[in-house]
Structure 1
Amino acid sequence: MPKAPVQKKSRVHKQISKTCTKTGVRGVKPPPGIHQQGLVFNTDLGQHILKNPLIITSMVEKAGLKITDTVLEVGPGTGNMTQKLLEKVKKVIAYEVDPRMVAELHKRFVGSILRSKLDIVVGDVLKNPLRPFDVCVANLPYQISSPFVFKLLCHRPIFRCAVLMFQQEFAQRLVAKPGDKLYCRLSVNVQLLAKVDHLMKVGKNNFRPPPKVESSVVRIEPKNPVPNINVKEWDGLLRIVFGRKNRTVLASFMKKSVLETLERTYMTWCSLHNKPVPKDLNIRDLVENAIVSNKYDKMRARQMDEDDFLGLLKSLNSVGIHFT
């Protein structure tokens, strides 16, 4: 029986195989077919390109863009979202960590009248300072979701809003309310600084290649003026009460390791404010009295709202208990 003819690999297939073995493209195997433009997407970098034009258009519309706006985009990929943004605003600042995608962006907009409005920053957005912008619209690499959200909220001057694609569970945590299963420290921290709304769910088949998880689009609008609170102290308090969010507040603070830390910060605070440390200091009694006298002892973090946490922080600060 004659042997079946061996099909030779095309030049493009050979290029794909070669690309998959390069440093920085770990874990990506050549697919049986040819990707668009011979480009292999690196899922290690969160490269799941949003391909549905209706979702892209909807995200851009939800951002309420003005012709005078400067827009921040993170992970522009091949430029599907970038193109829509450039058509509506004065300038787009796009942060891209993958040089191959930067080359794709240059190729897409070379010779276009839109090219002069595009400013590409090559590098990790978490390691580079953010340039001033009015609105952020992005299909984020999901592994940077949490640090990027807090980098956004700490950015000055304050931006108008952000419309961002997240993993669905992360988005649900952002908008969770007291009593919800996913209500957590992230929920409280973000909602202290911003108004957060869930806009739409996005199925995995709207991406190329499809991610393993479902996605959601969220709109974040920073509060202006910013709440007058020490954010590090606030987060220090939340770390304690959300360590076990089903425990009572009092039980969370009575842990030996927590009391030891609070005693050190109390003594530091006294030193910085030229206050003598009481010879009969009992940090356990000091903390317990502040919590019980203001009726926070039987509360649980999973059911407390922003006002409850602010009241608890104020009670503890009033007796010299701080978290930084």
Structure 2
Amino acid sequence: MKDKTFYPKKSLGQNFLQDPNVIRKIVDAVQPRPDDTIVEIGPGRGAITSHLAGKCRELILIEFDQDLAETLQKEYETDRHVRIIRDDILKTDWKEFLPANKVVGNLPYNISSQILFALYSHAPDVGEAVFMVQKEFARRLVAEPSTKDYGIMTILTRLYGKAEILFHIPPTVFFPRPKVDSTLVRIRLDSGNNQDIDDKAYFHQLVRTAFNQRRKTLRNSLKKITEDRFIPSVDLSLRAEALTFEDFKRLYHILKGDSPASV
């Protein structure tokens, strides 16, 4: 971004990436292609944007900071392949910019979960996401059962696709320096994944209820849902963190009354 210096706004959780080597690694991970539609959440001062513009069919920038959005608008006003939406990603209607091959961004730490929930609710219209998130948050996306990081976000990520950790990013490459380490993750979304779970809202409710009281056994945490029914092939004396994704699928089908052959 040219001609103007912007200082990070703490209220928006802004930390601007400024290391050219890390920027290059992120762009390499995104792998922009000429026929891609790419959505960038929170482009900020345009560190990644400048490397994506001109390398894809359409680049859609969603920027809440009006000063930054205005400058981006001026910088790319003659580029018909770049579109700027001045709005809060949590309030934006995603139908306005989807479908997209890729969604990328350096996500504010305090709203990462909310953005991923929004992403998953539009999973059929997105190919993959490449996000920079807090290191601890990244661990939750790829955690194994019976670990402290395993939880709601792990299960829901598996429901819609598969996450992988690409590389870790130190605080020193940002201005100002955050107090936490960051991680670049890729989430490949698959619209054909887990099609047997046709009531996604119910599956969400089941997983949330199980983990919201994760220190309790499933028999107690899910009491309002199971109504003390006998649940074959799922041990309700365990805690939620002990169940695999396949266990939750099995529990879902049983509670939905699906035929034994499909469970």
**Same structural fold, with TM-score higher than 0.5 when normalized by the shorter chain:** yes
Who is 2:190 aligned against? Answer: 223
Report deviation, 1:316.
Answer: 2.1
Report deviation, 1:109.
Answer: 4.2
Report deviation, 1:128.
Answer: 1.4
Gaps in structure 1 of 5+ consecutive residues: 1-35, 263-285, 320-324
Q: Which amino acid aligns with 2:227?
A: V
Who is 2:49 aligned against? Answer: 82
2:179 counterpart (212, 216, 222): 212
Change (3 A) 1:298 1:142: same
Question: Percent same amino acid at aligned positions?
Answer: 31
Q: Which amino acid aligns with 1:125?
A: I
Who is 2:158 aligned against? Answer: 191
SS of 1:197 mapped into structure 2: strand
Who is 2:242 aligned against? Answer: 303
> What is the alpha-carbon distance in structure 2 between the residues aligned to residue 38 and residue 159 of structure 1?
33
Who is 1:155 aligned against? Answer: 122
Report deviation, 1:203.
Answer: 0.7
Q: Which amino acid aligns with 2:173?
A: N
Who is 1:289 aligned against? Answer: 229
SS of 1:120 mapped into structure 2: strand
Report deviation, 1:306.
Answer: 1.0
TM-score by length of 2: 0.88
Alignment of 1:306-321 (within 5 A): 306-318=245-257
Cα displacement string for residues 98-143 of structure 1 (whole angstroms, at most 9, x for unaligned residues): 11101332354466xxx33211111111211221221112112222
Report deviation, 1:158.
Answer: 2.5
Change (3 A) 1:188 1:105: same
Report deviation, 1:152.
Answer: 1.4
Which structure is higher in RCO with an 8 Å CA cutoff and minimum separation 6? 2
> What is the alpha-carbon distance in structure 2 between the residues aligned to residue 58 and residue 38 of structure 1?
24
Report deviation, 1:239.
Answer: 2.0
Who is 2:58 aligned against? Answer: 91
Who is 2:84 aligned against? Answer: 120
Change (3 A) 1:110 1:314: closer
> What is the alpha-carbon distance in structure 2 between the residues aligned to residue 45 and residue 88 of structure 1?
29
Q: CA RMSD in A?
A: 2.1
The answer to which structure has the higher strand fraction is 2
Gaps in structure 2 of 5+ consecutive residues: 259-263
Q: Which amino acid aligns with 2:111?
A: I
CA contact (8 A) 1:290 1:315 kept: no
Change (3 A) 1:308 1:86: same
Larger Rg, first or second structure (1 or 2): 1
CA contact (8 A) 1:63 1:161 kept: no
Say whether 1:248 aligns with 2:217. Answer: yes
Q: Which amino acid aligns with 1:234?
A: F
> What is the alpha-carbon distance in structure 1 between the residues aligned to residue 45 and residue 84 of structure 2?
12
SS of 1:160 mapped into structure 2: strand
Who is 1:134 aligned against? Answer: 101
SS of 1:232 mapped into structure 2: helix
> What is the alpha-carbon distance in structure 2 between the residues aligned to residue 175 and residue 64 of structure 1?
22
